[in-house]
Structures are given as C-alpha cells and as structure tokens.
Structure 1
Amino acid sequence: MICETGISRELLDSEEVRKIAEEWNFPLPLSALLLNRGYRTKEEITAFLYPSVGELPSPFLLKDMDKAVARILPALEGKEKILIYGDYDADGITATALLWSYLKSKGVTADCRIPDRFSEGYGIREEALSEAKDRGIQLILTVDTGITACKELSKASSLGLDVVVTDHHECKSTLPECCAVVNPMRPDCSYPFKGLAGVGVAYKLISALECRLTDEDEKTVNERLLSQYGDFLTLGTVADVMPLTKENRIYVKEGLKLLDTGVHPGLSALLRLAQGEKRMKSACTVTTVGYMLAPRINAAGRMGSAESALRLLQTESPLEGEALGQFLCSCNLQRQLEEAKIYKEAEELLHSDESYKNDRILLLWKEGWHQGVIGIVASRIAERYGKPTILVSLEGEEGKGSGRSPEGCNLVELLKENEGLLLRYGGHELAAGLSVKRELLPTLRLALNALKAGKTVGTEKVFKAELELKPAEMTLRLASALSALEPCGNGNEAPVFLLRDAEIYGIQPLSEGKHTKLILEREGLRFAALLFGQPTALLPYSEGEKLDLLFNLSVNEYKGQGSVQLLIKNADLAASSKKKREAEKEEFLAFCREDGKSAQSCVPDRLDFTRLYRFLVQQNGQKRNALSLDWILSNTGIENPTILRIALEVFRETGLLIFRYAEEDWRVVEFSLPRNTQKTDLEQSALLRRLKG
C-alpha cells in the first residue's frame, strides 16, 4: 500500500501540540489533528468545538437578499399565488419542503414544481413557466436551481412573472435578470461562507423573512427556525456533500438533535423503516443521514418521480408518512438492484475487452442502462480503478452519460476538449453529464484517451491517512475523545489513521458471513477490527499474515463496557507477508511447470478430494461462485494452500471444475461446476500422476 500521511511524527511531539493537549486535556494525536486542520489558538479551537447559533452570519450579507425580501413580503401580505421551483435531488427536495412549510406557516400554500429527471432534466423549463402563468402564478421562488437559466427567466419576464432565484451552484459570466438572485457563489457576493447547500440558501431566505416579519434579533429567529426545520437543513446539506465546517457545522449539529426528536412524521417514519426493527439506541449521526435517509430520498427521483419524497417531508399525517416511507424504501431497493445489475454488466464489459486495461479514462456504454443509476455505478468504478469513468445509457441513436472522477482530473475540462463530439455536456470537476450520438462513442473513447497524460490521474492509487499511530496510542481515551470532532463529513472528515504490520490473530464472520471481524495483534496489544461489506468467504487474508491498514478509530459499547474498535477503510498485505506469498506462488507454479521438487507431502489424498468437491457443490448450490482459499481450507480440513491448489488443478484437468484466480488476488477462486453425470477417474490427471512419482 502506497500511503501518504498528513501529520509527521515530529509534529506529534512538537511543543505546539503538547500545549494544546495540556490546555484541553486531549490526547496528543487529537491535539495534532486539530493543529493539522488549522485550529491553533484557544479561540479557534473553542469556535470549532462549540459552535454557537449566535455566530451565524446575517442573511442580509447575501447579495440581493434585501431585494428578495422586499418582493416576497408583499406577496405574503397580498396572498399572491407563489410557485416554488426545485430540483429532483435530496438538496432540491429538502429546500422545496423547507420553503413550502415556512410559507404555509405564514398562511400561504405555495405550489411546488420539481422537474422530472428523465423527461425534463435539470433546471427550469420554458414550458413550465408558461403553465405557471396559465395557472395564475404571480411569483416564482427557485431553490437549488436557476442560476444559469438566463434564457428561461427572460421568458418569465416577458410573461409578466416575477422570479426570485436562490441557488448555490457556480455562476456563469451573466446572471439571470429577475427580481433578485441570492447565491453565495456570485462573484460580487461578500457573504463569508461559500459552502451552503441549496437548502442552506433557502434557509437564509426564510430567516431573513422572519427577521423582517417579527422584528426579533437574528439569534432568537435562528434558534426558533432551526428547532422547526433543522432536520430538513441537515438532510439536504449532508446529502449534497457540502463541507461540514463553519456555518454548516452549526446547522448539522442542531439538525441531528431534531431528527432524534422526530418533529416531522414522514421523516421519522422513513428513519424508523430504514433502520429496521432493530433500531439503534444511539443518537442520529451524519452516517445515518448520508447512508440511510439521503439514498431513500434520492431514490424517488432516480427511479421515478421525486414528488413522493417531497410529499413525505410535507405530510403531517403519521399514517401517510408510514406509507410514503415504505414506498421510498421500495424505490431504494429497486435502485440497489438496478445498480448491482449495471455494475456487473460494466465489469463484464471491462473484462471482455483487454484494451480497456490501457485506457486512462474508462468510457462504457450499453443499451437500456438506467439513467438515474449510472452515475452511482460510474463513481464505484472510478473508485475501484482510480480512473475517470463515464457510463452511457443508449436509447435509439443517442446516449446519455454520467461521469465521475477521482481527485486530480477535471472531468468537465476533458469533455470541453472534445465538445465537438458531444451534443451536450455539463457538471463540475469530479462529476459531469453528457449526451452523445451512438455512432461517435468509439471515437470519443479514443479521443479522451489521446489527451496528454497530465489530464488524468495515475493508475497506481495513493492512499492518504492523517496520522500513523503506534499501538500504544490506540487507547480508549483517544477513541472517546475523537467524538469532539463530530459531526464529521466532507471538509471535516473522520480522521483516517494508518497502522502497519498488524498480525491477524483471529478471523470471525459477522451477520452470517456478510461482514468480517479481525482480531489484530502488534507489540503485544490486540484490537478488534471490522471489515463491513467484506464477506468472510471472500476474505483474501489468513491468520498469521500481517496487514497495513487505514482505519477510523471508534468505541464499541457492549454491556456497559467500552473497548477500542477499528473500522477498516482499506487494507493491504504488509511487505513481509507479500514476500512470503510470492514464494508460495512460485513454489506452486514450479510444481505445475514440472521443474519443482516432487513433494509427496503436497499430494492431496482421497479424503481431501472428497471433502473439497462436496464443499464446492454445497457452495455452488448456495449461489456462491467465488471463495477465498482460506475459507475453503477452514471448511474442508485440507492441510495447506498448496495441497488445495493442486486438488483444484486436478479437478480442472479432469473436467470436474472450471475456475480461475481472481484478477485482484491469487487467494480468491472464481469457479463453476460443469454438469457431469459420468464417473471421473482422477488418476487421469497428469499433474497428480507426476506428483505421486
């Protein structure tokens, strides 16, 4: 594993770190983390650890906020017909729900419009504006959209529609002409925090309105509004992966508390359904929001219409909230199945064409891939191979694609250099969308990979850890103290640590083998380490081998007792174990080449063959067609890996088995069992006869 650490051991022992540790009674590693993240003085550390609602910047620091309020207040007083125009992702949906709920509390029930991902796509449509005019709409408020809709909003003006834009996306050189454009990303906006989500800008709008309507101070207004809408604000901010620093840190801290109390019945029902019957007793976290709530809210727009997700946030009925929550969970399950299908097909395309191995940018296409899911799959493939990845769904003569890129490659710049081959494209550095003619896809693939090397990332992935820990530093005190950094997320990540040469002392399957627990040992200390999503049957490591690993440090609570627990993010064999494996591999290959020593001790006996074949038949019946050698050894009683490999080769020679070693790891076998009704004589194997001498 190639790994860079952000904090040197010298910094850990520095006087500045020791001073922070003494002042705050923190372990040295936590003090070094704070210093590394830019918090040096007592005032800076206090502001980070204990953010206050009273420190929120005034909403009127946002350019055009005064104009927006000046147009909306008379609309509320005059009961004008208002349309909220949102977006189909979780940020846009929560922003729409937040603004709708606030206006409703002021006696105005606004119409809401969220475009259809498939028939309309992102942004404001001229047809929708004409429909709004026909319905008697007088004022349109956009949330999470509108900043680039100059042409469309010019149409709105010609129709006599007033528009207030609230957005957080990058601006183009020209802003829309309308009543007000509220966006912290405006070049002429001096607002001190640029990391607001779309729902964050919508929140600033309602806080400005509330200040004018009540004449209360901003702290009082924010405390009240966050107690009503903080959960919406948190959900949209986390789902849109906005930085959890400064202002957003305050919002998310307050919003997580609100999620625990269950103010909105629809959101409470969704949380309960997402967690299942075995609901965790611990408080709601950023992980809960990011991995349980956000995917289900997003699934509505990905798999069909986002209207059901919006209604879930709007409803005041627990019964309706339960029904909508169940529907969103089913949408998310459908999304997961579709994602797994597309991922499998994309991997098959990569393995069916050897030339993809040389591509620095992966472009894959297929008929009928779900447009709402290909972006997620592109992200997974980009993460796995460390390469920019674009997946294109074909329909007729056109394809619509979604791309993701690791850091270090600007995807939009790559597309811009090939815009002559594209019908449309857009996005930002790490995520982009495009449309392209079917016939031009092979040409586009060649063109993307012909760009100079500086435009892409390297194929060898470099992992990053914030600090390398020694076993003696991995204490319960440190694991507990790290909670001071919460809420963690983008911009304030949970610290990733590095531990080298940790020996595997024990391996335990969890949740019927879906996850794996390792007992690691180094320097006489043992630690429990969890590999979530790693089936034990596919674990490519053995007891006694040593690992280098990246991990988060956490506290495991059991029967009132706390213990240190490692949550493994990535692991690789340590250098010593890699060397040992290479020797083992060479020894086996020597047997197969007939230039190794004849070894009677490596010959499988009849019992070995019987146990192995029965086990493979059993696993095949359970739809398991990939297994680690260690899993096979532990379930068959075969003495060592060399005997097992020879037995597998004998089965292959005699037609009992088709198998290959996994591309990523020589310790994992992918296999299938041909239908064989005839008795097979294993003595016909040339390898077996030679080894028996």
Structure 2
Amino acid sequence: MRWTLKPKPEITAVNTLAKALNVDTIIATLLVQRGIQTYDEAKKFFRPSLDELHDPFLMKDMDKAVVRIKNAIESGENIMVYGDYDVDGTTSVALLSSYLKTLSPQVTTYIPDRYNEGYGISYTGIDYAHDNDISLIVALDCGIKAIEKVAYATSKNIDFIICDHHRPGDKIPDAVAVLDPKREDCEYPYKELCGCGVGFKLIQALAIDQNQEIEDLLPYLDLVATAIGADIVPITGENRILAFYGLQVINAAPRAGFKAMLSEVKKENLTITDVVFIIAPRINAAGRMKHGLHAVTLLTEENYEIALQYASEIEVYNSDRKDADKSITKEALAQILHHKEEDRYTTVVYDEKWHKGVIGIVASRLTETYYRPTLVFTKSGDKLAASARSVKGFDVYNALNECTDYIEQFGGHKYAAGLTLLEEQYEAFKQKFEEVVSSTIDTALLTPEIAIDTAIEFEQITPKFFRILKQFGPFGPGNMTPVFMTEGVKDTGYGKCVGEDDKHLKCKIQKNGIAIGTIGFGLGNKHKIIASKQDFKAAFTIDENEWNGVVSLQLKLKDISE
C-alpha cells in the first residue's frame, strides 16, 4: 500500500471555517479539503436541498423528449421503456415505467437478454416493438452509440428517445431526442449523473409539465440512490442531493421490493455502502443469472406479499451468482499462475465456459489481487465478450480506444468497460492491450493507494466528533469516508486473527492511555506487526460497533505499518 497524505489546507481558511461553524479544526480541515470554505457552503453540504437540483430543461433535447412523450400519451401510442440489465438499467426502467404508468396505461418494459442479445439496444428488442405496435422506445443507460439500431427502428416507423450517461462516439444517433450530459454540445451543469439519474431528470421535466412539485417525485429516489451507489458515480453535486434523499426513502418508506429484499437484514439506517453490498447485488443477480426483467418486476411490485416471493427467487439467483463468482475467480487466478503472467502490466484471461453474468465481478476480484487493468473474457455466441476493470487513476476506456483494430465494439467509463471481439483476434488484442498499458501507465498506480485526509490523535475521536462526521455522508467517489492516520500506537496485547483462514485482524490499539477497538478486514497477515510490542502507525476510518445492545466507536483499519 502507498500511503499518501492529502495536502494540508491553508490554515487561515481552516480556522475561519472552524470559528464560523463552531467545530474543531479537524472537521474544518475535512470540509476545506472538499472545497467548502464558507458557512453557506457548509450549510448546503450538511443540509442538501431539493431546491438545489438543476432545471432539467438545461439538458440538451429535454424539451424535444417531453413533447414527444406528451404526444404519445395524448394519442394513446404504445410506449416501450428499454434499459440495460444491470442495476443502473433496471432501476431506470422501473423508475420511468412506473412514472409513465401514472399518465398512460399504454406502457411496457423491455430488458435485453444478457446472453441472447447482449448489452445495449438490440435488433430483437426493436422487432419486438414493431410486432407489438409500439411506436416510441425510451432507452435508458444505453443507446449513445446505437447509430445503426436507431436507423433500423426509424425504417420500421419507431421513434427513439435515448437517456444515457456513457461517453458518446464521434456521431450521435439520429433519435428524436438524445439526453446525455456527456455530449460535447450539452451544457447541462452536472456531468456525472448515472443512467437512472438521467431518467430522473426526464421525469422531473415531465412533472414540471404536469404542474407537479419536486416533492411528488420523492418516492422514486430510492431507485436513483441505489443506481448512484451501484454505478460508482461521484457522490457530489446533484448526485449527492439525490442519494441523500433516496437513502431517507429507503430507510423511512421503502418500496415493497426493497422492503422484501431487506426483510432479513437486521440493520437500521442503511448507508450507501449497505445499498451497494446488500440491495445492488440482489438486483444485479437477476440479470446475471436469469433475466433483468425479474428485477424490474420486483422493483415495481406494490403488494408486499408478492414482492416477498419475488425477493426469495432473487435470493436464489444471488446465491448462484456467489458460487459462480467464487469458482471462476479461482480458475482465473490458477490460469494467471499457470501462464506465469504475474509480472505483466495487465491481466487478460479467457475461458469459453465462464458465466457471462459474473465476469465483471471476477474482473474486480482479480484487480484486488494483482492491482492492474484487468479483462475477463468468455464466449458469447460466435464472439468473445469481456468485462474490463481498472485501477485508480488509469483510464481503461482510453486504453481500449487504442486497441480498436482488434475490437468489434466497446463502451463504458474510465474504470469499467465492456467489449466484444472475434476469437481469432484474442491473442493479438491481448498483446496490444499489454503494450498500450505498459507504455502509458504511471507504474506508481500499480500499487494501491491509501489517501489519508489528516492525522488525528485518539483523544480527538469523541462521540460528538463522530456525530458530525456521519453528517458528511452519503459517502462515495468525490466524497469518500475520511481516512485518518495515527502514529506511535501499540496493541493492548490481545490482538488476534479472526475469520476464515485467519484473514482479518481484530485488536485494541492504544496511545496516550486511550484504547480503541479495531477491526482490519483482510489484514490478518499484518498480525506480526502488532505482536512485536513495538509502536506502529495505523490508517483507518471511524465507525460504530454494536455488541449486546451497546454501541461504541471502533476503528476500521485500512492498513498498518511499522
């Protein structure tokens, strides 16, 4: 691990803010590091307001989208809401279809089959629309590169509205409206919305047209918050407001599907992290193991008893997904060792039997092990399909763009992408990808970084301090949980390894007569440092631990070092 200490903010700015807010300098330091310098900025940060959401009509083509949907509703056209099979896509479809159904009964949903149709808009989906007299398709979380597909739909008298957040290619599809804040010609102020976020802006625009208030749309924000967490978009600006209110909905008045998925979870006040690790994998499991429409059905079901039945089916898919992900990761790691590829700059592995639904998760697991840009391939029809994952600071989308001679199609983001290629191009692609990465990556990025916000002493970690810290949430990219560092700490003598294979480290560490309980997930191999009775330094986040009804502060170790 590379420990990097964030630059100390200018002391006058910190002291001025500390005084204005009546908080200690550590809280003020954390705020200034997040670009907050005044009382008003702090108020907006701690009390996100729906009034701060941007006017949806600032997004290019929004007016066209609203007019086309209104015309479709008024003339009784059949509308199809189409979305990708992952969390962002299925929550988007649930969001827009349930809103449109309050305006028209002529609304249906469509999720492409991951295995037969693949990612994005499919010819099969367009043919289905044509066969069912559907004249308008609204596509969410996909479509920004679907130039030929949109043209094919036009030839069948089907109009398209695209709501996407992926990077466009050189051309934009010739649709009625293309909503994508990443369009070069779109001046929308916030560029980091997820697909469900763009879908929400569309229902916000429709609601304005219907003379509805923003408060009327609150019940939809549980879906948006889930997509924001699962799609790993920055939790800044508009996303932070949407996530903040979405979490309130999840905790206070969850829809039947969420309530059903959470029925076994004994935890109150879920955070974005809980949403990412509890709700998102279950929604995703449907599309990975069976079909994404199962997730949409669960998310739009209003009867709790029926939702419980759907949730128990999804629980089975999720458990199958876990088994597949575990066994494929094992096989992939064995493949890397067998080919003696540990010292490459990239990880590229392939097996035609691997389950296409879990290769993205496996790519993430391999990145955790070898920490380098990673691609996991499997057979998909007559081609090979892959999921790509990257390391912090390296743009895998740009790297793939350099390999287009060997790729059929690709799309995605800086840290996660997908692609397909012909089997005969696999070896040449693998070599080219290694060349591109090895010649462009800063080798420091191949060691995981712990970015430390500030040093702290144990006497500063008080319940009041933690209460304020909690209000920095929701946490995520762009607003990460603060990481602290304390030097010169010692174990109290009872530190031990816990968990399967002694993987984790549990101990109590002390300094200046103050001892705090700590847990270090994945740090079992560092036990010898604490057992040596020597001083060491610890990097950690601060959390709460509940044991027998008693809540106490605990440290979650990120790393320890002599």
Task: Give runs of aligned pairs for residues 146-185 of structure 1, distance below 5 A.
Answer: 146-185=143-182
Query: SS at the partner of 2:115?
Result: coil
**Residues 88-107 of structure 1 mapped to structure 2, 5 A cutoff:** 88-107=85-104
Equivalent residue, structure 2, for 1:370: 355
> Partner residue of 2:230?
239
Partner of 2:342: 357
Question: Distance between the aligned counterparts of 2:12 and 2:291, measured in 1?
Answer: 57
Aligned match for 2:51, one of 27, 51, 54: 54
Q: How far apart in 2 are the matches of 1:252 and 1:103? A: 22
Write out per-residue CA displacement over residues 480-534 of structure 1, whole angstroms, 9 at most, x where no aligned residue.
Answer: 2201201111221111122334322222566797754211122332111112466
1:502 counterpart SS class: strand
- SS at 2:249's partner residue? helix
User: Is residue 2:494 matched to residue 1:502?
Assistant: no
Measured in 1, the distance between the counterparts of 2:413 and 2:255 equals: 34
User: CA separation in 2, counterparts of 1:412 and 1:178?
Assistant: 25
By how many angstroms is 1:151 displaced?
1.4
* Equivalent residue, structure 1, for 2:458: 471
Question: What's the secondary structure of 1:463's corresponding residue?
Answer: strand
What is the TM-score normalised by the length of structure 2? 0.92
Letter in 1 for 2:487: R
Match of 1:392 in 2: 377
Aligned residue for 2:114, secondary structure, equals coil
What is the aligned counterpart of 1:19 among 1, 16, 25?
Answer: 16
User: Secondary structure of the equivalent of 2:356?
Assistant: coil
State the partner residue of 1:573: 561
- Deviations 1:434-490 (CA, angstroms, capped at 9, x unpaired): 334445544444433344744224244443212122333333332222012011112
CA distance in 2: counterparts of 1:539 and 1:329, whole angstroms: 36
Alignment pair present for 1:112 and 2:109: yes
Give the conservation status (yes or no) of the 8 Å contact 2:235–2:479: yes
The residue aligned with 2:202 is 205
Q: Give yes or no for contact 2:497–2:527 (8 Å, CA) kept in 1.
A: no
8 A contact 1:93–1:310 mirrored in 2:
yes
- The superposition leaves residues 403-443 of structure 1 with CA deviations (integer Å, 9 ceiling, x where unpaired) of 21102333233333333334443333322223344455444
Distance in 2, matches of 1:460 and 1:234, equals 31
Of stretches 78-87 and 451-460 in structure 1, the one that deviates more from structure 2 is 451-460
Partners of 2:410 and 2:419 within 8 A in 1 = yes
Partner of residue 247, structure 2: 256
- What SS class does the counterpart of residue 348 from structure 2 fall into? strand
After TM superposition, the structure 1 = structure 2 runs for residues 328-477 of structure 1, keeping only pairs within 5 Å, are 328-354=314-340, 356-394=341-379, 398-438=383-423, 440-451=425-436, 453-458=438-443, 459-477=446-464
Q: Which structure is larger by alpha-carbon Rg, 1 or 2?
A: 1
Question: Which position in structure 2 is the counterpart of 1:564?
Answer: 553
Distance 2:98 2:347 in 1: 44
* Other-structure match for 2:507: 518
Contact 1:387 1:457 in 2 (8 A): no
Do the aligned residues in 1 keep the contact of 2:408 with 2:419 (CA within 8 Å)? yes
Counterpart for residue 598 of structure 1: none
Q: How does 1:638-649 map to 2 (within 5 A)?
A: none
Distance 2:41 2:406 in 1: 50
Match of 1:292 in 2: 278
Task: Return the alpha-carbon distance in structure 2 between the equivalents of residues 134 and 406 of structure 1.
Answer: 44
Deviation, 1:342, is 1.4
Change (3 A) 1:562 1:265: closer
* Structure 1 SS opposite 2:109: strand
Contact 1:242/1:490, CA 8 A, preserved across alignment: yes
Rounded to whole Å, the distance in 2 between the matches of 1:39 and 1:542 is 38
The residue number in structure 2 matching 1:622 is none
Contact 1:409 1:455 survives alignment (8 Å): no
Residue 40 and residue 399 in structure 1: after superposition, are their counterparts in 2 closer, same or farther (change >3 A)? Answer: same
Gaps of 5+ in 1: 575-693
Instruction: Please say which of residues 544-553 and 333-342 is displaced more in the overlay.
Output: 544-553
User: Conserved in 1, the CA contact under 8 Å of 2:545 and 2:554?
Assistant: yes
Unpaired runs of at least 5, structure 2? none
CA contact (8 A) 1:504 1:542 kept: yes
Q: Please give the alpha-carbon distance, in whole angstroms, between the structure 2 residues aligned to 1:248 and 1:36.
A: 19
The residue type equivalent to 2:217 in the other structure is L
**CA RMSD in angstroms, aligned pairs only:** 2.5
Of 307-316 and 409-418, deviating more is 409-418
Kindly provide the amino acid, as one letter, of the partner of residue 118 in structure 1.
Y
> 2:539 maps to what in 1?
550
The amino acid across from 1:6 in the alignment is: K
> Per-residue displacement from partner, 1:618-639 (whole Å, max 9, x unpaired)?
xxxxxxxxxxxxxxxxxxxxxx
Aligned partners of 1:87, 1:555: CA distance in 2, in Å? 37
> 1:538 and 1:197, CA in 2 relative to 1: closer, same or farther beyond 3 A?
same
CA contact (8 A) 2:367 2:390 kept: yes
More deviation, 416-425/157-166: 416-425
Could you say what secondary structure the match of 2:471 adopts? helix
Higher relative contact order (CA 8 A, sep 6+): 2
SS in 2 for 1:178: coil
3-state SS of 1:357 partner? coil
Q: Is the 8 A contact 1:387 1:456 kept in 2?
A: no
Which piece of structure 1 moves more, 416-425 or 161-170? 416-425
Indicate which of 297, 301, 315 corresponds to 2:301.
315
SS of 2:223's partner is helix
Matched, 1:481 2:468: yes
Q: Which one of 138, 141, 158 corresponds to residue 135 of structure 2?
A: 138
Contact 2:539 2:560 in 1 (8 A): no
CA distance in 2, matches of 1:119, 1:504: 56
Cα 1:368–1:565, aligned 2, differ >3 Å: closer, same or farther?
A: same
Q: Deviations over 1:345-367 (max 9, x none)?
A: 2222233343x132111222224
* 169 and 296 in structure 1: CA distance in 2 versus 1, 3 angstrom threshold: same
Q: CA deviation at 1:202?
A: 1.2
- Shift in CA distance, 183/346, structure 1 to aligned 2, threshold 3 Å: same
Note if contact 1:48-1:246 (Cα within 8 Å) is conserved in structure 2. no
Partner Cα separation in structure 1 for residue 411 and residue 242 of structure 2 = 30
SS at match of 1:372: helix
* Structure 1 counterpart of 2:76, one-letter code: K
**109-118 vs 288-297, which moves further:** 109-118
Calculate the TM-score normalised by the size of structure 1: 0.76
Contact 1:27 1:477 in 2 (8 A): no
1:70 and 2:67 matched = yes
Do the aligned partners of residues 223 and 351 (structure 1) sit closer, same or farther apart at CA in structure 2, a change above 3 Å counting? Answer: same
Partner amino acid, structure 2, of 1:136: D
From the superposition, tell whether residues 451 and 81 of structure 1 become closer, same or farther in structure 2 (CA, over 3 Å): closer
- AA aligned to 2:477 is N
| Aligned-pair identity (%) | 33
Contact 1:378-1:390 within 8 A present in 2 as well: yes
**2-structure distance, mates of 1:348, 1:547:** 35
- Equivalents in 1 of 2:90, 2:382: separation in Å? 32
Contact 1:556–1:564 (CA under 8 A) maintained in structure 2:
yes
Deviates more, 1:143-152 or 1:291-300: 143-152
Contact 2:396 2:417 in 1 (8 A): yes
For this pair of structures, how many residues does the alignment match?
557
